[in-house]
Amino acid sequence: MGLTPQVRAAVASLDPDVPIFSVSSMSETVERSVWHVRVFGGLFMVFGVAALLLAAIGLYAVMAFSVSRRVREVGIRIALGARTSDVLRLVFRQGIVQLAIGLTLGLGLGALVSQGIGALLFEVQPRDPVTFAGVVSLLTAAGLLACYIPARRAAKVDPLSAMRTE
């Protein structure tokens, strides 16, 4: 940008009728040409984080509902002598199997989709291991929490009241 007056003088010495306007550096020109990519990239990132949080909340809701539907079964197990740790282990085992299947399918599908949209990404790796690890960590934490809280609640249920409810 420091050469602008010298360039203007050189052009004016050759042809004074040629106007020079909209002078900018190459980095400013590139920034202007990719602003929409950055704006939409930011929007997609916000929507992606929102979708991830909704997925975690949905995962928690589905798993908690699944465990709460089994209160009567848990009450019968406790009446037959199951300890709290046995109930927790049972619920966790079944929840972890469901969670592992879902994460495996989701990671596989995510890897396929990310390969397909790799050409649309700008300054981003399609298979970013940090992003995949973050998603897996968040959904695993939500799934484990979704198993633990309802299982603790179900393990504290009075066996008689659990068997009376339908």
Which residue, among 96, 80, 81, has the nearest Cα to 151 in the 3D structure? 96
Q: What is the pLDDT of residues 98-156, one digit of tens each?
A: 889 989 999 999 888 888 787 777 677 888 888 889 989 988 988 888 888 888 887 78
Residue 62 structure tokens: 């589905």
Measured CA to CA, the distance from residue 107 to residue 113 in angstroms comes to 10
The b-or-e profile of 69-87 (16+ CB within 10 A means b, else e) is ebbbebbebbeeebeeeeb
Q: Where are the domains of the chain?
A: 1-33, 41-164
- pTM of the predicted model as reported, rounded to 2 decimal places: 0.68
